[in-house]
Chains A and B, each alone.
Chain A
Amino acid sequence: MYEKEEKKLRTIKQNYDELDIPVERLDNAIQLGMTKARQTARHKWKPWLISVSMAAILILSLLTAIRVSPAVASYVSILPGMEKIIERISTDKGLIDAVNHNYIQEVGVTDEYEGLKVTVDSLIVDEQQMKVFYSVEGTPKKDEFQIIPSLQTLDGNDLEASTTFADANLEGGKAELEATFYFNEPHREKELKLLLTLNPQKHTFMFPLKLDPVAYEKQKKSYPVNKTVEVEGQKITFKNITTYPLRTVIEVEFDPDNTKKLFTFEDLRIVNEQGAVWSGIKNGITALGENDKRTFYLESNYFQEPEHLYLTFTTIRALDKDQLLIKIDPKTGELLQGPRDHVIYDVRVNKSEVIYKVNMDSELRYELTSRIQNAKGEDIYGGSTSTHYSEVQEVFVRYDRKKLVPGPVILEISDYPTVIKKNVKFKIK
């Protein structure tokens, strides 16, 4: 009946058959699509996001689940109404201590938009950081949404801070969330605005906050240390230790003449004369800085009155400075230079990424590489993602193809599971 039309339609099909297929571009598009998706998937998988405004490398330790320890359970009976908050901070002994000393402010203010109820439950703040506990309730019109916390001064300027916050997941109709603002400078404002911006709706909930900066200024205990220790020939100087209500800050300098690059302490901690231990921050910023001047953060013992305090550690992750670069031939994928201990293996290079697998026993997952450079030493880094499946961790480091020059691509190791050891313990108070 319509044979003629069908025939005509089929002749057009021939045009498509004769279409030039840009195969290389298509392959590249698939790779890019996957990389982008992996990146997004990763953010979904990890409940913590970070926006970084500090011009330094932040090291975050991320927890996916919060467990309540028996020690926490006993506190709960002391403080009725605080159970939920304690649950959320149960990985940090210092924070629990702060809550138990009433160093937390109840807020309980609610605002509503398009069926979404947002309540700021309470907050806890010192000169260095502010933790805000808030909850979201209701059924939003859009399935996928995000609430982004930020702080502003009264005149509407953003307060500079690094922020960590959890993605709102409204399964069950309610989500209990928290955001932490790590101030770039000790804050001195008496009033601040807490903004919770709902995306993609672009609606902003605004909560005014009143603060007492004069009080914060006095709330710290400093211990000048200036002590140098040597571990397997590497010199480490502890400069100052300052304890704030919410965390302890330890300033450290590594000797520039060290033959190894020191990445981080595996077990830096403070103990008192009775053996009570304050260890590293498990959920939040754990360290700052990337070269020889570094800052490490421990749980706070501000509310304790110990007679003596000691700093102690046994293990530092470190690697010989001449081993820090991994050089790969982008054409063949051949490993030209780099550690040969099979921690990093199956290195491949495609048109836009260097891909490698990681063999690590440790449950701790940290990124092994940061920068990527061309043979001239210019930065060509374009972001990195990693996936885990069947116990294999695979890392994808993107690079800017346009900046590639003849010669190897160079990955720089920023953390590595090889360690140096010594039992170190010295008195700070």
Chain B
Amino acid sequence: MKDLVMRAVNGDDAAFTELMDRHKIQLYKMAYSYLRNEDDAVEALQEVTFRAYRALKKVKNPDFFSTWLIRILLNYCMDVQKTKKRMVVDAGKIEQAAVYQNHESIEIEQAMKEMETKQRELLELKYFHELKITEIAELWQCPEGTVKTRLYKALKILKGKLEAKGDAPHV
């Protein structure tokens, strides 16, 4: 992939298309988890392609191209969510119910909704999108140790919230 990245950075459009092709499903799923519907997630992919293509020259380390793309996507999703929050009251719940049939997922997602954005994002990246700790560290530009500490803290908070929701603790 390193070679592809280098070629793309040097202006090879075919290489860039190939890279986007390899990342499209992961990026789409991520966008979907934030934006909750197909149209917005497809649009997100288009926007990420646009922003990435324009900023290709800024890719410093080809090894982290994937994380670089994810960062662009997350920034975009955050922006969209901010505007959406102002527009939509709580349409999310309805769509969510349509996607997740099982009760347990609704419960956990509900608990996550109440968490701080950064903590929720961490759980999503780690467990929904299976990013490695090193990748998240690169994404956030912080030491791996910090990611691990934050992860435990997030899990602890999640546990607390689930228990408060009547998920009785095991004695």
Contacts and interface: CB of A to CB of B under 8 A. Distances in A.
A30 B24 contact: yes
B78 interface: no
Given A12-B108, A15-B99, A32 B46 contact: yes
Instruction: Report the 8 A-B pairs with minimum CB-CB distance, sorted nearest first.
Output: A33-B49, A37-B53, A9-B127, A29-B46, A2-B155, A33-B50, A389-B11, A33-B46
A30 B155 CA distance: 35
Interface string B125-153: 01111100000000000000000000010
A30 B99 CA distance: 25
A4 B32 CA distance: 25
B43 to A, nearest CB: 7
Interface in A364-416: 387, 389-390, 394
B160 to A, nearest CB: 10
Interface of A: 1-2, 4-6, 8-13, 15-16, 19-23, 25-27, 29-34, 36-38, 40-41, 387, 389-390, 394
Interface residues of B, number: 46
B33 interface: yes
B70 interface: no
23 contacts: A1-B155, A4-B170, A8-B105, A9-B108, A9-B128, A11-B105, A12-B127, A13-B127, A13-B130, A26-B24, A29-B43, A29-B45, A30-B20, A30-B24, A33-B45, A33-B52, A34-B16, A34-B17, A34-B20, A34-B49, A36-B50, A37-B50, A37-B51
Nearest to B24: A26
A5 B25 CA distance: 26
B48 to A, nearest CB: 7
Contacts of A25: 38, 42
B46 A30 contact: yes
A9 B46 CA distance: 28
B12 interface: yes
B158 interface: yes
A215 to B, nearest CB: 48
A16 B33 contact: yes
Contacts of B114: none
B105 A33 contact: no
Contacts of A10: 127
